[in-house]
Amino acid sequence: MTSAVTAVERRRDRVALGLFAAGALLYLVAFVGLHRMATVPSDVVPGHAVRDFTRLWLLSRLGMLIALIGGVAMLWSFWRWHSRPKDVI
């Protein structure tokens, strides 16, 4: 058995989950925007369409990066918890 989870470990887990969720939300916003650009006809000036696409594409990549950082932080937190010394009963 391991000892109880400390407040610092819980905070680390919350930060990791928050990063993952924020990245997923950014990716979702970019996905919806790109999907709307592809399916809804609009009379936007062609240069503006390229600018909007580039902005949304970069937003999706940023979302993936932040979610990846959150996922790595979750794995690191689990590894730290799992490699703690075990209590002897």
Query: Which tens digits make up the pLDDT trace of 52-68?
Result: 999 999 999 999 999 99
Domain that holds residue 54: 7-82
Low-confidence ranges of the chain (pLDDT < 70): 1-3, 87-89
Q: Would you say residue 89 lies in a domain?
A: no
Q: Would you say residue 60 lies in a domain?
A: yes
Q: State the pTM of this model.
A: 0.83
pLDDT value for 20: 97
Q: Would you say residue 74 lies in a domain?
A: yes
- Looking at the structure of the chain, the number of domains it has is 1
Q: Would you say residue 20 lies in a domain?
A: yes
Q: Would you say residue 1 lies in a domain?
A: no
The per-residue DSSP string of the chain comes to -PPPPPHHHHHHHHHHHHHHHHHHHHHHHHHHHHHHHHHS-----HHHHHHHHHHHHHHHHHHHHHHHHHHHHHHHHHHHHHTSPPPP-
